[in-house]
Structure 1
Amino acid sequence: MHRLLALIALSALPALAQGGIVFTPHLSEYARLAPGQYTEFTLITTRIEEVYDRDGRKVHTGAPFIPPGDRIDASLLLFKSLWVGNPFRDSEFAFLRERPQFCRIIATLGHQQATGNAVRRGLNAGQHSGASGLGDLFGLCGIYGLEHRYGPVKGNGLFGTTVKVPIGRYDTDALLNTGTNYWSVIPQLAVHAELFGRIYVDGTFAWQFNGDNDEPAFGGLTPTDPADVRNLEVNVAWKFNEHWFADLGWSHRASVGPNRYERFTLNLRDQPLPPTSACASTQPLLGFPIPDALCNSLPFFYLAPRPGPYQDRGVEGTLLTAGIYYVYRTSTVLNLRVAQPIFGRGGQIEAIYDVFATPPDAPGSAPIAQLTSTQNGVQEAAAVSASPYLELRLVYLFWAP
């Protein structure tokens, strides 16, 4: 039975989305595992057709700049290697001698691609709207607490810390990236309990400390100072028999304060703008048209965004998950999981654009008008998907403990 739980718990690692780490609950995620070396592959796929705005409303992806019907397709492949053991078992350090330790490495490959008008919006700004390649690298180590038994109940605690190394593909001219371009450190406390050998309960609290991003992407709509994030999760699973398990989970993440944007540069690629172009082309990229009075008064225009600083209202997201597991000969697990967002809040800022009749950097040039554009933050620190995702695992225990 311990070997079986070790194999299942191996598949219970935080999922990843758009290069960032998102905690989602799984079966026996924090149970004490038998010593050994474990390996796993996980595929996560989604179609992001809706996102949350700053007021918690579901809106179509790209609103209000592009009409409904477009989406972002995203897939993520994870390779995970886990070691569980206790090099201190024969030492004089009683605390470590009695508690096994674990270390894990998670490598990622990702693909993301926007469709239709979302691609065209990026091209108008000299940006592209797709990404494929290596994602960030995650390393985590920790220690298990002692296992306690109270009649039909047994349980243990766990403490671990994850470090995200920003080695993933990152392009400052891209709407989407498989890397994040900033470090994260995530300490985590967790508990695991089993009741009557049938019911499994897991829960955790984690705090994600994020570093700065000094090279924001897509015109500065990735935060330069992403907020820290609180993560909570709880999961309840039921064992039908030795082969079949099912679970239901709830997870919540919320930023600690706002994200800050200090290098906003999103602008139309081709300038100056003739009046007919200016009046028509600014709406799909910037969210406002040039007023008719200006369009009819001058032969051309320049737009210059103010770099900031701006800040959003913070982001948050709540997920419900459901999964089913089939275990074959205690060495192979097939797991299918669906995650459905039920509440969220994305990052948005009120960006300011100055309108010029002469080049903005020309001597004596001064703005003749000022316009405000509501812009959506992008990527994992600022965008919150309102679309479900599918997670498929095929886990094999190569080295049985």
Structure 2
Amino acid sequence: MKAVAKTMYARHLRHASLSLLAVASVGVHATENGGSSYPMGSENYMSGAMPPPGLYSQFFVNHYEADSLRDNRGDKVPVDFRVRANVIAPRLIWVTEQQVFGGSLAFHAIAPLVDLKVEVNGQSQSKQGLGDMIFGPALGFHHSDKLHSILALDFIAPTGEYDKDDLANVGRNYWVVEPVLAVSYIDPNGLNIDAKTMYDFNLRNKDTDYRSGQELHMDYAVGWGLGNGWVVGVGGYICHQTTDDRQDGDRIEDNKGRAFAIGPSVKYTSNKGWFLTAKWQQESQVRNRAEGDAYWVKLTIPF
């Protein structure tokens, strides 16, 4: 029994090691080494509203900290653990003049720059560098002045540095295919609702022969427009791992991650075309991952 417990603790320590990679790891889900290739909770208001044709730049800024690990029952794992990540992720968006199936065709790419530090039982490691990049095509639809939606197919590439023997890594070392549906209801003088729903198909890590389970997750925001450019409300994310991990072809049981995060969220829209969103989100109802807090700021600027 002691050997089994030791193995379980070792697995949880490794889960912490890759907890935050790039913009794509504000949450540490089960899967391999406890990480997720999408930055859970990164989106906020306006996530489903595609702008008019043109070039746009976005900048995501994130700070995440966690000091506890939760097991399959949600109990705290008794290890001395702390993770801290700071991320700046520039994003380029090109909305074309082309219409496909009635929607505006667009393309985007995100290049996260990560500063990561992991401490476990007196050992620590820090890394800085480019994380795993996200890119893909999208179609934007405007159903009315207030209701908008986006259909997209994102790809997450293993561009971040990775070493299977390291405590901290800023890359996952496998590809992810991610269908996306985002919907926004926007009223400058009333209710605002945003939901960006994604499903991750994680491919195999060739260095470990590990394939992380599929993940269903959603970034959300609900607020009230004050009529002066400001929206105030709450936001966060919901995540649920839907299939088991597999290593060397064998299924790994009792390792599915899930979490719910919520916190205050605001948006400011200027009369010059740029807008800024900001939020703090606290994780709860956590299983098989780290539990912590994240701060997000997103700035969108047209060229």
**CA positional deviation for 1:262:** 4.0
Q: Which amino acid aligns with 1:225?
A: R
**CA positional deviation for 1:159:** 0.8
Picking from 43, 57, 61, the partner of 2:61 is 43
Q: Secondary structure at the match of 2:90?
A: strand
Measured in 2, the distance between the counterparts of 1:51 and 1:26 equals 26
Q: 1:225 to 1:396 in 2, by over 3 A?
A: closer
Following superposition of structure 1 onto structure 2, how do residues 193-342 of structure 1 map, counting pairs within 5 Å? 193-195=185-187, 197-216=189-208, 224-262=210-248, 310-342=252-284
Q: Secondary structure at the match of 2:163?
A: coil
Q: Secondary structure at the match of 2:211?
A: coil
* Deviation by residue 1:78-112 (Cα, 9 ceiling, x = unmatched): 01001112224xxxxxx54x421221100011121
Q: 1:168 to 1:203 in 2, by over 3 A?
A: same
Q: Does residue 86 of the first structure (1) align with residue 97 of the second (2)?
A: yes
Q: Does residue 112 of the first structure (1) align with residue 116 of the second (2)?
A: yes
Q: Which amino acid aligns with 2:287?
A: R
**CA positional deviation for 1:38:** 0.7
**CA positional deviation for 1:131:** 2.3
Measured in 1, the distance between the counterparts of 2:274 and 2:251 equals 51
**CA positional deviation for 1:232:** 2.9
Picking from 154, 179, 184, the partner of 2:176 is 184
* Deviation by residue 1:32-82 (Cα, 9 ceiling, x = unmatched): 31221111222211221122211122x2xxx43x44xx4111111101001
Which stretches in structure 2 are left out of the alignment for 5+ residues? Answer: 1-21, 27-35
Q: Percent identity?
A: 19
Measured in 2, the distance between the counterparts of 1:261 and 1:312 equals 14
Contact 1:260 1:311 in 2 (8 A): no
Aligned length: 272
Q: 1:397 to 1:205 in 2, by over 3 A?
A: closer
Q: Secondary structure at the match of 1:320?
A: strand
Measured in 1, the distance between the counterparts of 2:200 and 2:62 equals 22
Q: Does residue 392 of the first structure (1) align with residue 293 of the second (2)?
A: no
Structure 1 length as normaliser, TM-score?
0.61
Measured in 2, the distance between the counterparts of 1:312 and 1:261 equals 14
Q: Does residue 141 of the first structure (1) align with residue 145 of the second (2)?
A: no
Q: Which amino acid aligns with 1:230?
A: L
Q: Secondary structure at the match of 1:26?
A: coil
Q: 1:313 to 1:396 in 2, by over 3 A?
A: closer
Which stretches in structure 1 are left out of the alignment for 5+ residues? Answer: 1-13, 89-94, 121-128, 217-222, 264-307, 347-383
Structure 2 length as normaliser, TM-score?
0.80
**CA positional deviation for 1:200:** 1.5
Following superposition of structure 1 onto structure 2, how do residues 51-66 of structure 1 map, counting pairs within 5 Å? 51-57=69-75, 59=76, 63-64=77-78, 66=79
